[in-house]
Structures are given as C-alpha cells and as structure tokens.
C-alpha cells in the first residue's frame, strides 16, 4: 500500500474507533453511548479562517532574533492597572530563563531587558507569569519555570525585584503551568504536566496532568496528585478557563502523541474532581492553548495549530467562539491566522501569552520566525479587536 493510502486508512480507522466514545479515560474505547455525528469534527474544519498574519502594522517586535540569538517560549501577564504588561521567555528552545521586559502602554512599546537574579539562568523551560490578587488588595506576581523540577520566584513590587527561584516540590517535564483562583479567591488551583512517576526525565511517555492547590496566595503548594491520564495518549500543557457564570472550570490540553485531537475536561467543584477527558474538534487542536475573554463575552484561544486537516498547520492561530461552543462540542465562530512560521521547523512557535486590554484589544504574544531570512526566532505580539475580525468575516 502506498504511503498516502496508508495515511488515509489510518485516519479513517482512528476516527471511526475514537468516536465510539466521546469521553476518554483509563478505558479509552469503552461502552458509553456512541455519538457518531461528531466524528466529522475530528477530521474537518468547517469554520472560516481570517488571515491577518501579513498585517505588519498590527505587529510589535518585543525582542528581535538575530542570526546568532534565538528567543524562545514566551509568556505574558497583564497587571491590575490594565496597561502594564510583563513578558518573560527563554534563550534558545526551552533553554535558559531570564529575559524579562515591561510595557507601560498595553504592549505597544517595551523596555530594555530588566535585571533578574543571576541564578535564574540555571533554570530552563517555558517561564509562566501570574498575577495573584491578595485579600488585602495587594498584587503578587509569580514566575514558574524549570524541568524536571518546577521552580518559582515571587515579586511583591509589581515585578521590579524578584526572589531567587525556589523549588515548589512539584515536577514538570517542560511545557506550561496554569493557575486560577478558586473558592472566591481564597485559594488557588495549579495544573501542570508530569512524566512517569518513576522517572524525572523531561519528556518520556506517558505524560499525565497533575494538580496542586495553594492557601497562601501561591507561596506554597500542596495536595499534588494526578487528575488526567489517557490510554496511549499524552495529555499535557493544560489551560484553565472559568465559565462565564463562574460555576465550572474547563481544562484544555495538548495531546503529545498526536494520536488524538487536543483534549478537554471539566470540573463542577473547583477542581476537587474532573470529568474524563474528551477530544476537541479539529478547529481547537493544537499546542499550548492560552485564552482570554473579550468584553462582549466571546472567548479567544491562541495556540500553535497542529490539526492535520488545517490549511494553517504550524502557524500561530487564535480560535474565536464561546465557552458554550467548547463544552457542547461546537467548532466555534472562526479562526484567525495571527503569524506565519517561516522557519524550517514549521511547528517552532505558539507558546504565548494572550491578554485583553480594557478597550477590547487582544494582545497575543509568541515566539516565532516571523519573516524569511537568517534571523532566528523573535518575540512578536499581534494586536487585534474582534470588531475587525467580524468585519473581515463579512
């Protein structure tokens, strides 16, 4: 059988089998009710894609790559004043942490490199920034990074100074960390990926998703345990989204073995328990999902597009829809191609931060080789509003 026919046959078999059961767990193909009408969404993208990747006037270069310097996985945080942003990233792919910049105007302009503790340079892999509101009204900032151990630094002065990195007691084989407030902000919930319990290597299967909670504003973490494992699949890089009514948490996950689409699960009790994992439509299939709500209530999810059926596979894209679209397995309103990846590795982009400014401007920041030439990856922001996307759809 030629390779093309073999690939098509494999896709058909996986699609036909996987959709015998919509919810995935320790028994991947069990005897739950079949939902055959959903199988098409696994192999098709039926919503339109708006391409703004060539609109250079809407792009801001946070840190330009050079033929010698590669800027890697980035993350951002928008502070409570609605205009101050921080961006942190790595040097080389999953390499040294430490590059940190500040913007005072919602990401339009950026400072020079900010000073950070020297020992940050000994920590690698995907720094993640968080703003933790305290009951007193004080805003605490956290940055988490490292592999196989997960380290954390704290700032009590809005990022002007930072503590040294301290091990949290948790493990992480690369990828991102996600934190949300729970129980009316009195506690915080963290989800993170982890490799096999009997090894601390960085990326060995099976990868599963674990969680921990904090009762002291993110200073310490406890109750570390596994919450998602899928047979013959590697759920990882979780993103947490709270429902508009505040009653439910949704977790989006990358599937690192590429057998399945990206995955989702929900919790109705602040993370005490989770549904079994379920495949997402192809329209939401990718790596390192990051999300924000727009002022009109729509949800924007940015990620590295990894759907085999997508014309923009390998690019940095944003999905636009509603929370209900996701939990009801609808494809959403549209997708937006934000940036094209010009590097030889077409999937070397997409780890990002996504912020919504008070005026509704979405600031999506990623690492990417954003133009042809000898320059290596840069840190680039794309700025857009949903009104613009709606007009382009018409």
Flag whether pLDDT at 144 surpasses 80.
yes
* In the predicted structure, residue 161 carries a pLDDT above the cut 70: yes
Residue 344 has pLDDT above 60, yes or no: yes
> What average pLDDT does range 375-382 have in this prediction?
97
Span 359-377, mean pLDDT? 96
Whole-prediction pTM: 0.89
Average pLDDT, stretch 9-36?
A: 35
Is residue 4 scored above 50 in pLDDT?
no
| pLDDT for position 20 | 33
Per-residue pLDDT of 164-217, as tens digits, reads: 999 999 998 878 899 999 999 999 999 999 988 655 545 578 899 999 999 999
Share of the chain above pLDDT 90, in %: 77
What is the pLDDT averaged over residues 357-378? Answer: 97
Can the peptide bond before residue 148 be classed as cis, meaning omega within 30 degrees of 0?
A: yes
* Partners of 145 in the β-ladder: 151
pLDDT, greater one: 328 or 347: 328
Give pLDDT, residue 8.
Answer: 38
3-state secondary structure the chain: CCHHHHHHHHHHHHHHHHCCCCEECCCCCCCCCCCHHHHHHHHCCCCCEEECCCCHHHEEEEECCCCCCCECCCEEEECCCCCCEEEEEEECCCCEEEEEEEECCCCCCCCCCCCCCHHHHHCECCCEEEEEECCCCCEEEEEEECCCEEEEEEECCCCCCCCCCEEEEEECCCCCEEEEEECCCCEEEEEEEECCCCCCCCCCCCCEEEEEEECCCCCCCEEEEEEECCCCCCEEEEEEEECCCCCCEEEEEEECCCCCCCEEEEECCCCCCCCCEEECCHHHCEEEEEEEECCCCCEEEEEEECCCCCCCCCCEEEEEECHHHHHCCCCCCEEEEEECCCCCCCCCCCCEEEEECCCCCEEEEEEECCCCCCCCCEEEEEEECHHHHHHHHC
Looking at residue 169, what is its pLDDT? Answer: 93
Among 25-39, 134-148, 234-248, 260-274, the range scoring the smallest mean pLDDT is 25-39
Give the whole-angstrom CA distance, residue 158 versus residue 42. 43
pLDDT in tens, 299-328: 999 999 999 999 999 999 999 999 999 999
Across all residues in the chain, what is the average pLDDT?
88
């Amino acid at each position: 059988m030629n390779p093309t026919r073999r690939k098509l046959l494999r896709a058909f078999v996986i699609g036909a089998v996987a959709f015998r059961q919509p919810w995935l767990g320790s028994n991947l193909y069990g005897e739950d009710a079949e939902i055959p009408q959903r199988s098409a969404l696994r192999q098709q993208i039926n919503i339109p894609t708006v391409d703004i990747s060539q609109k250079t006037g809407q792009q801001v270069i946070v840190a330009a790559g050079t033929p010698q310097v590669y800027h890697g996985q980035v993350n951002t945080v928008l502070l409570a004043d609605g205009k101050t942003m921080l961006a942190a990233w790595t040097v080389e792919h999953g390499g040294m942490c430490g590059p940190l910049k500040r913007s005072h105007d919602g990401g339009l302009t950026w400072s020079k490199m900010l000073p950070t503790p020297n020992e940050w340079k000994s920590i690698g892999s995907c720094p993640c920034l968080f703003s933790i509101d305290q009951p007193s009204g004080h805003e605490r900032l956290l940055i988490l990074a490292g592999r196989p151990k997960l380290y954390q630094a704290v700032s009590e002065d809005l990022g002007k100074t930072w503590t040294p990195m301290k091990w949290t007691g948790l493990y992480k084989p690369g990828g991102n960390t996600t934190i949300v407030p729970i129980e009316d902000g009195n506690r915080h919930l963290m989800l993170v990926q982890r490799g096999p319990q009997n090894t601390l290597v960085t990326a060995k299967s099976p990868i599963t998703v674990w969680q921990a909670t904090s009762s002291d504003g993110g200073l310490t973490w406890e109750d570390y345990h596994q919450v998602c494992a899928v047979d013959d699949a590697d759920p990882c890089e979780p993103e947490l989204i709270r429902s508009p009514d505040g009653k439910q948490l949704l977790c989006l996950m990358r599937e690192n073995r590429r057998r399945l689409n990206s995955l989702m699960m929900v919790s109705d009790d602040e993370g005490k328990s989770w549904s079994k994992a379920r495949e997402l439509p192809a329209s939401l299939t990718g790596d390192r999902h990051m999300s924000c709500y727009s002022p009109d209530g729509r949800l924007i999810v940015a990620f590295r597009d990894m759907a085999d059926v997508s014309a923009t596979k390998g690019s940095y894209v944003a999905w636009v829809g509603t929370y209900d679209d996701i939990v009801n397995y609808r494809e959403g309103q549209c997708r937006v191609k934000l940036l094209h990846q010009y590097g030889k590795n077409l999937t070397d982009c997409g780890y990002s931060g996504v912020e919504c400014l008070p005026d509704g401007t979405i600031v999506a920041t990623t690492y990417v080789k954003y133009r042809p030439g000898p320059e290596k990856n840069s840190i680039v922001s794309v700025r857009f509003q949903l009104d613009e996307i709606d007009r382009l759809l018409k």
